[in-house]
Amino acid sequence: MGEGTEFAATGKDDKMKSWLWMVLLAALAVGACAEPPGPLAIRSATVADRGTIFVVRHLHKAQGDDPSLNSQGAEAAGRLAEMLAEKGIAAIFATPTRRAMETAGPLAERLGVSVTPYDPRQPQALVAAADKVGGSLLIVGHSNTVHDLIGRFGATPPPPLEEQDYGTVFAIGPEGRLETFEIR
Phi and psi of 76, rounded to 5°? -65, -35
Give 184's pLDDT tier (boundaries 50, 70, 90). Answer: confident
Q: Rounded to the nearest 5 degrees, what angle is found at the Cα of 181, between the Cα atoms of 180 and 184?
A: 165
Q: How much is the pLDDT for 50?
A: 72
Q: What SS3 class is residue 126? A: helix
What's the fold here for domain 41-182?
Answer: Rossmann fold (3.40.50)
Q: How much of the chain, in percent, has pLDDT values that exceed 90? A: 71
| Measured CA distances, 9 to 16, 17, 21, 23 (Å) | 10, 10, 16, 20
Q: How much is the pLDDT for 47?
A: 45
| Strands 136-141 and 89-94, sheet pairing | parallel
Q: Residue 138 pairs with which residues in a beta bridge?
A: 54, 92
Q: Is it the case that residue 43 has pLDDT exceeding 70?
A: no
Question: Which sequence spans correspond to the domains of the chain?
Answer: 41-182
pLDDT tens track for 58-107: 999 999 999 999 999 999 999 999 999 999 999 999 999 999 999 999 99
Q: In what order do the strands lie in the sheet with 53-57?
A: 115-117, 89-94, 136-141, 53-57, 168-172, 178-182
Of residues 136 and 26, more confidence is placed in 136
Q: Is it the case that residue 17 has pLDDT exceeding 80?
A: no
CA nearest neighbour of 102 among 117, 121, 90: 117
